[in-house]
Structure 1
């Protein structure tokens, strides 16, 4: 089969199209899936740049998000049959094969039936960002109906689904964006207010929009400087959740505000083999599939590219400021 191989640690040029052996079912509960699409996420570019999470030799196949059709099942598989369309977040971290490939094998426990109304590309775009946004908003952030949430980088992959999930919860959503065009986009996704941070930052605007109280929950998808500035726009006794390492900074104001600070790394259950936590990920996909089929939730795909264009996809993500998701079609 054809697959994109990470041949070394480095720039996007290390991603090469190769012919490799097709994976085979090795346990009774596995599915063999013909992949139709693979989502591209920032974590893929970081692994390519800095190395695998596991001490395994290269080359390796990247790509955590996949969607495809079941073509073979193990003898003990009870949840799926050949022909089923499935989506999942599995592999691509340096241990199991990722999804930049034509075929993969996955245990039935980690797969879920795709939304009936989604294309393969739409389904492949969503698992990692849905699970990430859900964990940050609800599990770490405790978001409730009627509360105000500030979502940074609302036009991005995680941000645009976080907006939709927050609105489904009944929250008021403020989000930051870099341009007027992206402001229009996030409002189409359901955001109540968009702050264009490239003009005068975001702190004064958010505090004005919240009458000086700040947001009940602030979700940082950007990094250290944004995290630091977000402390002063988080309401007293509120939650501040980040996807990234905030670095060394003074938390005196966060302490004065009695903030709950949380970290969301949706890869942890895979990296630490926390099976029950991974079960929760599958439950999230099942719930989100229902919302997608009802028209309450959708993916925005900015670009669909062929498998052989994986290196270009990585370049686009690393250039920054992309809207929604990039998907590789297989």
Structure 2
């Protein structure tokens, strides 16, 4: 089969297409899936540049997100049969092989049936961003109906899922975007307040929108100055959830303490990195809930670029240029 390997830390040029044997089943509980597509995420580019989890295991197949058809099942598999269409977030961080490949093997417990009304290739774009948004808004921030939430980079991969999830939860939504096209997308997904961060001060706009209180929850997918400035956009006693690890100065920490803020950090890869079997099953159940939402019309994933597997390096370059709308997928065959 064909697979894309990260051969060394570095630029997108370190991604190489190779022919390797199809994966064998590591246990009787594993499936072999013929992949239709792999999702491409910013974490892939970061792990290519700096493989922090398993640097000793290069070369490695990247790509956490996949969707495809079950081609083989282990003797103990009970949840799926040959021919089932599935999607999942598995591998791709340097240990278990990822999804930049024509086939992959994974434990049946980490696999979910794809949404019935979503194409097989597009399903590959959903798992990681759904898990990140769900874990941040539901798991960390406990976002409730009627609360206000500010979502940064609302047209991006995680952002556009977060807007839909917040809308499903009944929250009032403000977003930051960089242009009118992204504003239209966010409004169509349920955002009430649109803030163009290039032209407006998002802190002041959020205070104006909430009658000077600040948002109950801020969801940061950007980090850096956006995260630090968000300390003043959250209400007193509110929650700031972030996907990034932005350094805090003593003054920043004192400000967060003065405002009694809850700083909520979310890394949806934790169950995989720390090999927490029960937590990975819990995340699979989130994918099952997400599939129901898609089938009910409450959630969709926007795929804006489809590239063949061989163009993985170009997909990484596009993500690293910034300003992405929606998701990129790599297609097989």
- Using the size of structure 1 for normalisation, the TM-score is 0.98
What CA distance in whole angstroms lies between the structure 2 residues aligned with 1:57 and 1:141?
35
What CA distance in whole angstroms lies between the structure 2 residues aligned with 1:5 and 1:287?
32
Aligned to 1:44: 44
What CA distance in whole angstroms lies between the structure 2 residues aligned with 1:134 and 1:51?
25
3-state SS of paired residue (1:198) = coil
Deviation at 1:52, TM superposition (A): 4.8
Aligned to 2:168: 168
Aligned with 2:272 (options 251, 270, 273): 270
Deviation at 1:131, TM superposition (A): 0.5
Task: Give matches, 1:128-139, under 5 Å.
Answer: 128-139=128-139
- 1:287 counterpart = 2:289: yes
Deviation at 1:254, TM superposition (A): 1.5
What CA distance in whole angstroms lies between the structure 1 residues aligned with 2:264 and 2:78?
37
Aligned to 2:73: 73
Deviation at 1:224, TM superposition (A): 2.0
Superposed CA deviations along residues 170-222 of structure 1, whole A, max 9, x for unmatched, are 00010100111110111112111110000133111111111111100000100
Deviation at 1:9, TM superposition (A): 1.0
Deviation at 1:274, TM superposition (A): 1.3
What CA distance in whole angstroms lies between the structure 2 residues aligned with 1:52 and 1:257?
34
What CA distance in whole angstroms lies between the structure 2 residues aligned with 1:26 and 1:261?
39
3-state SS of paired residue (1:248) = coil
Deviation at 1:58, TM superposition (A): 2.0
What CA distance in whole angstroms lies between the structure 1 residues aligned with 2:270 and 2:43?
13
Deviation at 1:253, TM superposition (A): 2.1
Structure 2, gaps ≥5 residues long? none
- 1:308 counterpart = 2:310: yes
Task: Give matches, 1:92-107, under 5 Å.
Answer: 92-107=92-107
When residues 327 and 184 of structure 1 are mapped into structure 2, their CA distance, relative to the original with a 3 A threshold, is same
Residue pair 1:203, 1:230 contacting (<8 A) in 2 also: yes
What CA distance in whole angstroms lies between the structure 1 residues aligned with 2:14 and 2:325?
25
RMSD: 0.9
Residue pair 1:227, 1:242 contacting (<8 A) in 2 also: yes
What CA distance in whole angstroms lies between the structure 2 residues aligned with 1:150 and 1:288?
22
Deviation at 1:121, TM superposition (A): 2.0
Aligned to 1:257: 259
Residue pair 1:62, 1:94 contacting (<8 A) in 2 also: yes
Superposed CA deviations along residues 136-181 of structure 1, whole A, max 9, x for unmatched, are 0011001000000000000000000000000000000101001111
Aligned to 1:246: 246
What CA distance in whole angstroms lies between the structure 2 residues aligned with 1:122 and 1:100?
15
What CA distance in whole angstroms lies between the structure 2 residues aligned with 1:101 and 1:186?
33
Deviation at 1:132, TM superposition (A): 0.5
Aligned to 1:14: 14
What CA distance in whole angstroms lies between the structure 1 residues aligned with 2:57 and 2:258?
48
Aligned to 1:58: 58
Aligned to 1:190: 190
3-state SS of paired residue (1:318) = helix
How many correspondences in the alignment?
330
What CA distance in whole angstroms lies between the structure 2 residues aligned with 1:271 and 1:299?
26
What CA distance in whole angstroms lies between the structure 1 residues aligned with 2:53 and 2:21?
23
Aligned to 2:143: 143
Superposed CA deviations along residues 79-103 of structure 1, whole A, max 9, x for unmatched, are 0000000100000011110000000
3-state SS of paired residue (2:67) = strand
Residue pair 1:217, 1:240 contacting (<8 A) in 2 also: yes
Residue pair 1:56, 1:95 contacting (<8 A) in 2 also: no
What CA distance in whole angstroms lies between the structure 1 residues aligned with 2:91 and 2:159?
23
Aligned to 1:318: 320
Aligned with 2:300 (options 273, 298, 315): 298
What CA distance in whole angstroms lies between the structure 2 residues aligned with 1:323 and 1:3?
26
